[in-house]
Amino acid sequence: MSGATRHRDVGLRRRDRGLLAALGLGALVAWSRGRRARAERHRALGEARLARARATVAERTLATHARELERSNRDLEQFAYVASHDLSEPLRTVSGFVRLLETRYKGRLDEDADEFIHFAVDGVRRMQRLIDDLLQFSRVGRAEAGPDAVDLTALVPEVLEGLRDAIDRSAADVQVDALPVVLGDGPQLAQLFQNLISNALKFTDGHPPHVRITAEPSAERWQLAVVDDGIGIDPSAAGRVFQMFQRLHSAEAYDGTGIGLAICERIVERHGGRIWVEPGPGGVGSAFRFTLPRAPAAAELPGGRLVDHAEGVLDT
């Protein structure tokens, strides 16, 4: 073999070894990268499984808490209903005899006796109102009737008629804007408007109150408001006023049990909405705003009328 041939063979063997080394190195790099990728995928799968397990535990815990809260609420409703119902009978007996005492002996005894009788009668009256409000609060969650289309244009005037004496006594000016048809429980919505309007008539600084009831469309809901020019509510107490037995004023200054707005919140939430209070126009008075669901298009109302979201209520 010539020297040139041997030199060429050596060169080829060296090139082949270089190629093999390069291929081996590439395979090693590829294997290493694949291993890292597999490790990353394995770690990601493990983290995903752990996250799903944690989410499952969280969901079960949340479901357990929700069931416990629902059971607690049912127990509270049942307690309020039974306690209020069972207290009503003996209180009626006490009330009857105290009023009989007032009728027969008022003015026939000394001034102290008349004052004591007055305190007893007033205490019985407040207790009866508290029991009535507790019963009303418990009944909101116990209602079983399904929602219907409720024409607020017809409902609100009925509520105002029931408040006629209070409106006349306070010389109030009540303005009612165009109102929509909503989906809900008619008697509960009547209670909602009655409580809010009663508060607007009551919490004044002595001047004849001006009350306005408005409605604005909002997505799939209506936003309604009862706005007054009364004494207003401190913004720091805006959330507290909806809690049970929370009063911002003494019973001597403004009569009430501190349950009325809690009933309002319960009714609105039962209808899937929310309620809040903010200062009235120009910072004067209060504006209680709440949302209620729209009635379905073409829902039938009493009297054969139909709901149309574009036109309001159509006569048929």
Tens of pLDDT, residue by residue over 221-274, are: 899 999 999 887 777 766 777 776 666 555 555 565 677 888 899 899 989 999
Residues 166 and 224 in one domain: yes
Q: Is residue 223 within 8 Å of residue 291, measured between CB atoms?
A: yes
**What's the per-residue H, E or C state across 128-178?**
HHHHHHHHHHHHHHHCCCCCEEEEHHHHHHHHHHHCHHHHHHHCCEEEECC
Residues 121 and 172 in one domain: no
Judged by phi (left if over 0) then psi (alpha if -120 to 50, else beta), residue 133 lies in: alpha
Which CATH number goes with the domain that contains 173? 3.30.565.10
Q: Is residue 87 within 8 Å of residue 131, measured between CB atoms?
A: yes
Residues 133 and 168 in one domain: no
Instruction: Identify which of 153, 121, 175 has the alpha carbon closest to the alpha carbon of residue 222.
Output: 153
Residues 9 and 135 in one domain: yes
Please state the domain count of the chain. 2
In this predicted structure, what is the pLDDT of residue 76? 65
Tens of pLDDT, residue by residue over 171-216, are: 999 999 999 999 998 888 999 999 999 989 988 887 899 999 999 9
Instruction: Single out the residue in 119, 142, 165 at which a domain terminates.
Output: 142
Higher-pLDDT residue of 24 and 230 is 230
Q: Which two tokens stand for residue 196?
A: 């809010």
pTM to 2 decimal places: 0.60
Residues 166 and 266 in one domain: yes
Residues 300 and 158 in one domain: yes
Place of tokens 């289309």: 149
Residues 43 and 185 in one domain: no
Tens of pLDDT, residue by residue over 106-146, are: 777 778 888 888 788 777 777 777 777 667 666 676 655 56
Residues 64 and 86 in one domain: yes
Instruction: Single out the residue in 83, 118, 142 at which a domain terminates.
Output: 142
Percent of the chain topping pLDDT 90: 22
Residues 309 and 191 in one domain: yes
Residues 40 and 111 in one domain: yes
Residues 132 and 162 in one domain: no
Residue 226, domain extent: 146-314
Residues 91 and 150 in one domain: no
Instruction: Single out the residue in 108, 142, 176 at which a domain terminates.
Output: 142
277 - beta bridge partners? 288
